[in-house]
Amino acid sequence: MVQLLLCVPVFIVGCLHFGKSAFHSVKGGLPNMDVLIFIGSTSAFVYSLVGTIQNPGEQYQFYETCATIITLVLLGNVFEKRSVNQTTSAVKDLVKFQQVNANRVIDGTVEVINARDVRAGDTLIVNHGDKIPVDGDILEGSASVDEAMLTGESVPVDKEKYDKVIGGTIVVNGNFRMIATKVGSNTILSQIIELMKKAQAAKPPVQKLGDKVASIFVPAVILIAVITFVATYFLTDKGLQVSLMNAIAVLVISCPCAMGLATPTAVMVGLGRAAKNGILIRGGDTIEAVANTKYIVFDKTGTLTTGKFSINDIKVEDGVDLEHIRGIIVAIEERSNHPIAKSLVDGLKNQPKSKLILRSATEEKGLGMRAEDVDGNNYFLGTGKTANENDFNLSLYKNQYCWHRLLLMIPLNPKRHH
């Protein structure tokens, strides 16, 4: 009775889960492994229940067999569900980019609406720090847009009039007026999310093979169980009880506990180990495809490199004060929102430096910063590709696995401009 009471809730859960799946598979004409699990566990439970009622003193009860079958296979399904949930975090992150508001212009007034309510042809205003609500074209204005969400590139992309912008990307500097061209499910972000959902729903090839095997294996096992019962009952004198036991044994032994656990467990372990190493795999079919891979193409930033910069070294000419150089760099780069500028300021904020007061500072897109101090000295701090290495002091600026050279043009003597 104790075994019966412990087995009943497990059996009910198993019937609800596997019974539903078995019914639909038989209805569709392709019986799957859940049919065997359902029949095997049900046979063991019903046989044991009848034995408990009719012959409570006999030891022909197999409640633990029924509970074990259901528990093991359900555990395998839990592992599989968990592995899928680990890979859906990327989709959830992308969906968050769609949950923004939009500033729509109607008859000269601006109203705040949800991005889902934007229609193609609407005029929108996007300001500094805003997420672009939908795909569209810039009508007026300019801005630097962080498209790392889509491309992985850490450096913002400059956008001007007539340039296309993508929903979900972030304006890090500037503002503009745009016209919505693609909304709802037509945006690039929505299409990416849909592709990822389809990929995650796809079954691994080994699982598809298991389903094909099951469509032949299940009817064969049921047929063997029936033959076993008939042969034992009519060709021997074992009686009904032993004949039923033998038939149920065939069903129970053939229950695919190993397959139910092995495939999802292997997928979970593979996805988990990859995730610990910073690799997000979208599904079990991807793991199998990697085994036959010959060439791999990487998007460098965000994959091989972090996109986060740090100062590796500052080299100056003999006789030049390093603290003075640090002060110049910080004073100039504090005026910029560029990722490299922010990294320079962060890298030097705790180091000794002299103070420099600037009168003005302007940013030249794609090149660097120009500035003038209160004494009339002019400075240029920018990319090393604009100058010859022999002509200027160079700063080597390191992003993991790649180097960037920055040049700093400074007046070596007061009132002399370089």
- Residues serving a catalytic function are 299
First to last CA, the chain: 95
- Whether the CB-CB separation of 150 and 302 falls below 8 Å is answered with no
Closest residue by Cα to residue 340 from 381, 299, 305, 308? 308
> Which residues, 6 or more positions from 290, have their beta carbon under 8 angstroms from its beta carbon?
none
Rama region for 153: left / alpha / beta (φ>0; ψ in -120 to 50; rest): beta
> Which residues, 6 or more positions from 255, have their beta carbon under 8 angstroms from its beta carbon?
36, 37, 40, 41, 69, 73
DSSP-based three-state secondary structure for 204: coil
At 40, give phi and psi (nearest 5°).
Answer: -60, -50
Rounded CA-CA distance 137/127 in Å is 15
> Which residues, 6 or more positions from 88, have their beta carbon under 8 angstroms from its beta carbon?
200
322-333 vs 339-348: helix crossing angle, rounded to 10? 140
- Whether the CB-CB separation of 278 and 304 falls below 8 Å is answered with no
DSSP-based three-state secondary structure for 337: coil
Q: State how far Cα 179 lies from the chain centre.
A: 30
Sign of torsion, CA 147 151 154 160?
negative
